[in-house]
Amino acid sequence: MSESSHIKLFIPGPIEVSEKTYKAMCRPMIGHRSGDFKKLYGGMQPRLQTLFGTNRPVFLSTSSAWGVMEGAIRNLTQKKVLNGMCGAFSDKWFDVSKRCGKDAEALQVEWGQAITPDLIREKLSQGGFDTFTLIHNETSCGVRNPLPDIAAVMREFPEVMFIVDSVSSFSTQPIPMDELGIDVLLTGSQKALALPPGLALFSVSERAMARAATQKDRGYYFDFVEFAKNQEQDMTPSTPCISLIYALESKLDDIFTEGVEARHARHAALNAKVHDWVKARGFEFFAPEGYRSLSLTCVKNNREIDIAEWVKRLREKHRIAIDGGYGKIKGKTFRLSNMGDETPESIDTLLAALDDTLA
């Protein structure tokens, strides 16, 4: 593929993948039960644990994040799951829960609004729940749910397992799993980590693992107990996506070379840059103040521009892809990612291209 045909992605996943990452993906194959693989996976474990904020092992699933999102329900829901819903992906988790044959209840707020601690307390107080699902950063509408405050409420309901998806927020801000009492923290490779899709990462609390062990019909491919058993020997239950694991190792090098805190600060600064542009151009945010994602921005189309046309112009003139809104808010919003390896310069380039084509 020639350079000129390359469209740089500022959509909220998959995002741009670096040359260094691609190079890492080209390392020769190794057997997945070999010492070489064990060294690869085992060697990454401490850094993965640091990023997850946990002393628990971190598992690698050869799937998109949805596999583990379904797996968490299969492994942990015995009575009833409450699904926190504020956008396309969190809404879908409710649907997926039911498809797994589980008793599920919706905690639905309007798309773009946050799921507040009080709403969760009210629902869980009704009793009967043993699992709660939350998408920390609802990618479809740029909402960042107030994780620390929600975690505080979850402590009031110790029988309820707290399952958190962090696909578009992981590694862009601190999410201290153990400290917050999260039972399952999961993420995917193709958003905040800037790897190609196909790999999901997750960690499971001790008490959640104990519950999984008592669960019937949890299957094999996403069986948490199998992941734990294999991880003890630095292996995965099934043949893993070795190339993506090489890429992950390379990305961990990047992250720890930059420094985890510096990485968080960079994402906050890039996000602020985008926010400044949004305000300066007379646009509004889809999510309310205080509940806005730090890794992507969902912008309300209050200027009523033809988003589809604009996205097309951007792509043709500047070889840049942004997202023109997801599902039922297509055309009414647009989304700009500042995930991954972006820099002040690359975000400036994006914003200049937006200005150039907006007129």
Q: Which stretch binds its own copies (CB under 8 A): 3-11, 38-46, 76-84, 266-274?
A: 3-11
Q: x/- binding map, residues 31-70, to its own copies, per CB under 8 A?
A: xx-x-x-------------------------xxxxxx--x
Show contacts with its own copies in window 304-333 (CB under 8 A): 321, 323
SS (H, E, C) the chain: CCHHHCCEECCCCCCCCCHHHHHHHCCCCCCCCCHHHHHHHHHHHHHHHHHHCCCCCEEEECCCHHHHHHHHHHHHCCCCEEEEECCHHHHHHHHHHHHCCCCEEEEECCCCCCCCHHHHHHHHHCCCCCEEEEECEECCCCEECCHHHHHHHHCCCCCCEEEEECCCCECCECCCHHHHCCCEEEEECCCCCCCCCCCEEEEECHHHHHHHHHCCCCCCCCCHHHHHHHHCCCCCCCCCCHHHHHHHHHHHHHHHHHCHHHHHHHHHHHHHHHHHHHHHCCCEECCCCCCECCCEEEEECCCCCCHHHHHHHHHHHHCEECECCCHHHECCEEEEECCCCCCHHHHHHHHHHHHHHHC
Q: Which stretch binds its own copies (CB under 8 A): 20-28, 121-129, 151-159, 269-277?
A: 20-28
Please identify which residue in the block is written with the tokens 């998408």. 135
Identity of the residue, 73 or 143, whose beta carbon is nearer to its own copies in the bound complex: 73
Q: Which stretch binds its own copies (CB under 8 A): 109-117, 153-161, 214-222, 277-285?
A: 214-222
Q: x/- binding map, residues 220-259, to its own copies, per CB under 8 A?
A: xxxx-------------xxxxxxxx---------------
**Contact between 99 and its own copies per CB under 8 A:** yes
**Contact between 342 and its own copies per CB under 8 A:** no
Identity of the residue, 177 or 199, whose beta carbon is nearer to its own copies in the bound complex: 199
Give the closest residue to 263 by CA, choosing from 169, 147, 195: 169
Give the closest residue to 143 by CA, choosing from 179, 168, 160: 168
Identity of the residue, 53 or 67, whose beta carbon is nearer to its own copies in the bound complex: 67
Identity of the residue, 214 or 304, whose beta carbon is nearer to its own copies in the bound complex: 214
Q: How far is the CB of 179 from its own copies (least distance, A)?
A: 30
**Contact between 22 and its own copies per CB under 8 A:** yes
Q: Which stretch binds its own copies (CB under 8 A): 149-157, 204-212, 215-223, 254-262?
A: 215-223
Q: x/- binding map, residues 149-168, to its own copies, per CB under 8 A?
A: --------------------
Identity of the residue, 56 or 136, whose beta carbon is nearer to its own copies in the bound complex: 136
Identity of the residue, 303 or 317, whose beta carbon is nearer to its own copies in the bound complex: 317
Binding site for its own copies (CB under 8 A): 1, 6-7, 9, 11, 13-17, 22-23, 25-32, 34, 36, 62-67, 70, 74, 95-96, 99-101, 188, 190, 196-199, 216-223, 237-244, 321, 323
